[in-house]
Amino acid sequence: MTGSPAWLIAGPTASGKSAVALALARAVGGEIVAADSMQLYGDLRVLTARPTPEDEATAPHHLFGVADAALSWSVGRWQAAALPILEDIAARGRQAIVVGGTGLYFRALTRGLAAIPPVPAEVRTVVEADYDALGEAAIRARLARVDPAAEARIAPADRQRLTRALEVFEASGRALTAWQADTVPPLPREAWRGVVLTLPRAELYTRVEVRLETMVAGGALAEVETLVARGLDPKLPAMKALGVASFAAQLAGRLTPAQALSDAKAETRRYAKRQIAWFNHQAAGWPRAEADARAVGKILRETPS
């Protein structure tokens, strides 16, 4: 990629990434590219905290709300969409600001994606059935025998990544970790500058709770009602967006409004905790900046080129 290095702004949910990205875009004349696995779906603007139309009018935004909830975007599909956008931004002499909380998207840009052969449907079916019958501990133990590095880095209760790693081994006879080691990053190291936004844990959790309350007041329930009415497969990524299950249960009368909001807050806090752990491990060398009014200045001064 030619041109100015891209800025990569990562961090947990509710850490203020969007505001910092917008301020940075104003400061450097940049264009914002979403690196968020839920903000790319068009059905949940409020519940996924997508930038407002007013924010989008302030600076060019890319890959926000571009996918229908009936679709399932993989990391590879996102990367395939993002790279031409980054090339185009650089070719026009602008700076790209890639912002989001989906760590695997940043990993795909900076470390590459492995050329893993497709997993046959029958292999996936067997592994999923084994997980249902035997439980996470047994599947985790099985994965540890064939790919201990993958087992060690996959968080508890992350069924999707756990079964995926085992499926890759069962289908190819080679560990997912080995496939990933043979990758070439699409963004060479000199083509990007990364920063992870941080906040004290208590402050982050308070922001999570306040933001969810604001979302409910701003139409999140109507979004969920419209999404549920489509009758989509509950396994689709958009159906797993934070808060969807809780607010759908409220709409169905299974939870009170207070219970649904409390559940959504707890789910989001747990997710933020997992994100923090992921970035601490996978982006340990990236500079940190607290998301406050001084963040952009700190990023410009201290993020190495």
| Total-model pTM | 0.82
Question: Given this model, what pLDDT does residue 155 score?
Answer: 87
How many domains does the chain contain in total?
2
The domain boundary, picked from 137, 158, 181, lies at: 181
Q: For residue 1, is it within any domain?
A: no
What digits encode the pLDDT tens for the residues 218-271? 999 999 999 999 999 999 999 999 999 999 999 999 999 999 999 999 999 999
Question: From CA 123, how far away is CA 77, in angstroms rounded?
Answer: 22
Q: For residue 167, is it within any domain?
A: yes
Task: Determine phi and psi for 187, rounding to 5 degrees.
Answer: -105, 110
Q: What is the CATH classification number for the domain harbouring 259?
A: 3.40.50.300
The reply to whether 166 and 261 lie within a common domain is no
The reply to whether 218 and 91 lie within a common domain is yes
Question: Given this model, what pLDDT does residue 49 score?
Answer: 96
The reply to whether 226 and 290 lie within a common domain is yes
Q: For residue 26, is it within any domain?
A: yes
Question: Given this model, what pLDDT does residue 294 score?
Answer: 73
The reply to whether 237 and 208 lie within a common domain is yes
The reply to whether 187 and 45 lie within a common domain is yes
The reply to whether 247 and 137 lie within a common domain is no
**In the predicted structure, residue 174 carries a pLDDT above the cut 70:** yes
Domain of residue 269 covers 6-113+183-302
The reply to whether 188 and 282 lie within a common domain is yes
The reply to whether 269 and 213 lie within a common domain is yes
Question: Given this model, what pLDDT does residue 300 score?
Answer: 78
What digits encode the pLDDT tens for the residues 35-84? 999 999 999 999 999 999 999 999 999 999 999 999 999 999 999 999 99
Output 114 or 69, whichever has higher pLDDT.
69
Q: What is the CATH classification number for the domain harbouring 153?
A: 1.10.20.140
Task: Determine phi and psi for 72, rounding to 5 degrees.
Answer: -125, 105
Question: Given this model, what pLDDT does residue 302 score?
Answer: 67
Q: For residue 250, is it within any domain?
A: yes
The domain boundary, picked from 138, 154, 181, lies at: 181
**In the predicted structure, residue 299 carries a pLDDT above the cut 80:** no
The reply to whether 136 and 169 lie within a common domain is yes
What digits encode the pLDDT tens for the residues 257-293? 999 999 999 999 999 999 999 999 999 999 999 877 6
Question: Given this model, what pLDDT does residue 72 score?
Answer: 95
